Structure 1
């Protein structure tokens, strides 16, 4: 599948990617003096028929028909390659005018991006949901324009719950464990799906941290990866879920998000943390499922995880005056709804969110949408986050294995985060 699993940070440090040997120029003037803008975007589709290329091509042609002299050249790549494609272009001095990818902070820190207030009209900039817009800031200046978003809920298989005699969705970790024990006793292969493999380990990690009262950073933005709350959370997961054989036969540290999603669709998983695209996948399999807020250490988690993908505009070709009006068009209510509705994602603007909430056709997304304003996001504003994310993918699985030492592993990641942050600072 090309669809991203969903919206976890994939860039491993875009500014450090290898150079591409030969790339076409961007933002040039075309025949008759027409202005060409180059847009590079990620593909949210899982097959050719629903590729994001269709959306962007249609949007570009619509904009061109209303703005003579502007030509939008569109390139769309899978999530496995789009971040590196853009990094290669930038490193080779061939930056696109606009990129819609997974990370912006390293480009912003290098002075390569326009700030939002130099691009967008005041109404467009003010329409972003504030919690998401804040995640696009570096030193309190917004460079990352959120494009689409996601929050997380606990999904559970209603048929398996009934078979196991679980009568209510769990609200606390003790209730989650009790449900998992009953599911195991009823013969469910994977009572709780725990994907701590490299595909999206930072997401599952963050959800457990938040549910335990911790997180990646404090309110001032300083890393708190090895906090007492985070250590306690993973000691609980190690001892009370993995240690009691409640996560299935496979090593969680080698289990990817899509592996668990596929198993859920096959009816082998009792419950798991999921994002909106799991709705489509589960319905396609005819699964009878429901969703509930993430359980926390003593009750419902105080915060869920929010994730955003980013739009950004590069300075290299000096096309600010052309880029800004196009982005205003991209973020118009109807265009935002068109994209998010197609891929079951959450809009990042107040106008589109309100419209989605007023439309019963999007009712399944309302529980995710309700959490968006107060969700906690990856520290994507930190240039260091790309390297920290890679370290989490490589190391976090070890904390839940037999004999695993959460305090030691989290402290190792914390030291790397601090060192990287200090070097970047």
Structure 2
């Protein structure tokens, strides 16, 4: 991972000597300004809510910038995207939002471009893959705030009992799942294709099978490609129909329910992100992690996910927003958030620091996967509609009487309609 970033790090260092963004000086000299930020909660309960992180960060920022106050309103992931959209629709946009999607607001000319907010060294310090994902028509509006990737988790005790090694191929998954089933494991392979986050599970399997949501050059959707149809036909025929995915129809199994079952020792294998690691450790579950196998065992891109920071034009606080964001993206602040929630940092320098720190050893596999990951097509305003269609329909592709090709054709048609409406 570090090798790829040497050039970028050099550019950041060089730019930092001379480049600054006009209008991003220390303080505005125009009296106190109060910025409003609506942010998503990464905590699992009141004791580790993100509000604590933001309160501490804002207090530290205010010491350096007494003329800029920041009010942070942290809301549940279940509500925050919708809530911000409603605020914008009422012409009550916050100055900043840290949520899951930005493209609709950018398309409506509601957001400041990143180039008007941050000095060039800060812009250049974002991981390149995430920078590109934050663009609409080659202009960056979405600033990456948090990232994660996915790995295949397996229960080491269940594998040892069944005499198994981590699978490297799809056939290896089937063989392991069959042995786990014979040992009485409730979910040999948990396959959450319910409405909670099935767009993620879907993308993981598409990439593993050589496909994806978009075509090879990422210019348009390719949801019903031959590779994707083959992947979901395999899932239906080889995992679901033989009963290797557990007692619940995958289309009715949500991600959190699958994660909860893993922490109870009821799951042999499933795809997971870094927060599952912490939950499993707290539950005393011994686990291993490997990249999701492919049909032939060759490496394939993993799925990466980023959440976004965006700045709204409505209140006109560009300079103050820029000052705050420069502080937000300082290495120590990025690392503090990553430490608190087992999230991957979004900047080159913070990523390099994390990879070199032994206390983050368990996150290194996720960091390496981020280097080779593919992200959702979040720069498309159509993505929200496509994601909704995937959540509603993909589980039907693997039911006993399901038709993977027909289901993917239906989602592809909705994607084409949504793209035509952009």
Q: TM-score, normalised by structure 2?
A: 0.92
CA distance in 1, matches of 2:385, 2:416: 11
Aligned to 2:275: 277
From 58, 66, 69, give the equivalent of 1:71. 69
CA distance in 2, matches of 1:267, 1:61: 41
Aligned to 1:254: 252
Aligned to 1:157: 155
CA RMSD, Structure 1 to Structure 2 (Å): 0.9
Alignment of 1:246-395 (within 5 A): 246-395=244-393
How much does 1:390 deviate?
0.6
CA distance in 2, matches of 1:221, 1:306: 18
- Secondary structure of 2:148's partner? strand
- Secondary structure of 2:388's partner? helix
Unaligned runs of 5+ in 2: 1-29
How much does 1:337 deviate?
0.1
Residues 98/113 of structure 1: CA separation in 2 closer, same or farther (3 Å cut): same
From 210, 213, 216, give the equivalent of 2:213. 216
**Residues 68-111 of structure 1, C-alpha deviation per residue, up to 9 Å, x if partnerless?**
21111111101111111111111111110000001100000000
Unaligned runs of 5+ in 1: 1-31
Alignment of 1:83-162 (within 5 A): 83-162=81-160
Aligned to 1:414: 412
CA distance in 2, matches of 1:286, 1:374: 30
Q: Does 1:180 align with 2:177?
A: yes
How much does 1:33 deviate?
3.2
CA distance in 2, matches of 1:185, 1:220: 42
CA distance in 2, matches of 1:99, 1:244: 45
The runs of at least 4 consecutive aligned structure 1 residues that moved more than 3 Å come to none
**Residues 42-68 of structure 1, C-alpha deviation per residue, up to 9 Å, x if partnerless?**
111111111111111111111111012
How much does 1:221 deviate?
2.5
Aligned to 2:27: none
How much does 1:230 deviate?
0.2
Aligned to 1:400: 398
- How many residue pairs end up in the alignment? 392
Contact 1:190/1:248, CA 8 A, preserved across alignment = yes
CA distance in 2, matches of 1:300, 1:269: 25
Alignment of 1:223-262 (within 5 A): 223-262=221-260
Aligned to 1:207: 204
CA distance in 2, matches of 1:302, 1:395: 25
CA distance in 1, matches of 2:123, 2:295: 37
CA distance in 2, matches of 1:43, 1:37: 19
Aligned to 1:19: none
- Secondary structure of 2:378's partner? coil
CA distance in 1, matches of 2:218, 2:385: 20
How much does 1:300 deviate?
4.2
Q: TM-score, normalised by structure 1?
A: 0.91
**Residues 125-150 of structure 1, C-alpha deviation per residue, up to 9 Å, x if partnerless?**
00000011111111111110000000
Aligned to 1:198: 195
Contact 1:150/1:307, CA 8 A, preserved across alignment = yes
**Residues 305-354 of structure 1, C-alpha deviation per residue, up to 9 Å, x if partnerless?**
00000000001111111111110110000000000110001001001001
CA distance in 2, matches of 1:41, 1:414: 32
CA distance in 2, matches of 1:361, 1:172: 31
- Secondary structure of 1:33's partner? coil
CA distance in 2, matches of 1:301, 1:180: 21
How much does 1:363 deviate?
0.6
Contact 1:130/1:373, CA 8 A, preserved across alignment = no
Aligned to 1:13: none
- Secondary structure of 2:371's partner? helix
From 48, 51, 54, give the equivalent of 2:49. 51
